[in-house]
Amino acid sequence: MMKFKPNQTRTYDGEGFKRRAACLCFRNETEDEVLLVSSSRHPDQWIVPGGGMEPNEEPCGAAAREVYEEAGVKGKLGRLLGIFEHNQDRKHRTYVYTLIVTEMLEDWEDSVNIGRKRKWFKVDEAIRVLQNHKPVHAEYLRRLSDTCSPTNGNAPSSQVMGNNAPHYVVCSTKGSDLINR
């Protein structure tokens, strides 16, 4: 069953990229277990929860909303891991945040409406699971090792709310190139 949102408005940035947001949802601050959800298009495949930003929505707000809808979780929004560009079939620019899960709903929007499932994975296992179906999602997790962990005292500030200026590190999925914006 495919997910259908009748009032969904796709938003694009000035360069024609679809604006998206996602969260790597972790069980705790050690960031060694990540929550994945079943794909709406391919229910036997796992994905990182995320989706399109609504008009006038900040990336951090969109990320929190999407994980609530798709994974049925709430939590503490953490650092911006990166902005990932995906250019193969559709031009997407996805803001990916970390989130420490503090609450898991028993039933949530996508579990009721489309039968979406969720499951905890060790990070290395999640990378393997994502590699074939959604390699860009595997790249989000690989990027974890390139950023400061929140427990070492060097974590980037999570105060990214309201800052839409494209000056973050952009991760291109055409390779491992990091482009400063």
Beta strands in the chain (DSSP E): 18-26, 33-38, 46-47, 50-52, 73-86, 92-104, 118-122, 169-172, 178-180
Tokens standing for residue 126: 């999640």
Tokens standing for residue 57: 């929505």
- Confirm if 32 and 121 have CB atoms less than 8 A apart: no
Q: Provide the annotated active-site residues.
A: 69
Burial of 67 (0-12, 13-18, 19+ CB in 10 A): buried
Tokens standing for residue 16: 């024609």
Measure the CA dihedral 116/121/125/128, to 10°: 20
Instruction: Assign 87 to helix, strand or coil.
Output: coil
DSSP label of 67: H
Helices (H) and strands (E) in the chain, counts: 4, 9
